[in-house]
């Protein structure tokens, strides 16, 4: 999942990732990893059921139009 302009440090874009230790959220721009409290606040403010994924038949270049 992506949270646009939601980084508490630089107002950059956050994304959710997973590694061998579990799931975490960090920033594309500054690399800031959210603490458990920050992550809870971000998840609390996310509308339930809202996702930011594209259908498999939609081209990736559509993201350029959304971001502009």
pLDDT in tens, 14-36: 999 988 988 899 999 998 999 88
Domain boundaries, the chain: 2-67
- Report pTM: 0.61
Residue in 32, 28, 21 with CA at minimum distance from that of residue 3 = 28
The mean pLDDT value for 39-45 works out to: 82
List b or e across 25-41, with b for residues whose CB sees 16 or more CB atoms inside 10 angstroms: bbbeeeebebeeebbee
């Amino acid at each position: 999942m992506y949270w646009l302009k939601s980084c508490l440090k630089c107002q950059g874009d956050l994304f959710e990732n997973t590694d061998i230790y579990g799931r975490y959220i960090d920033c594309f721009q500054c690399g800031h990893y959210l603490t458990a409290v920050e992550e809870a606040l971000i998840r609390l403010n996310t509308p339930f059921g809202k996702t930011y994924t594209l259908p498999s038949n939609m081209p990736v270049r559509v993201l350029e139009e959304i971001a502009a």
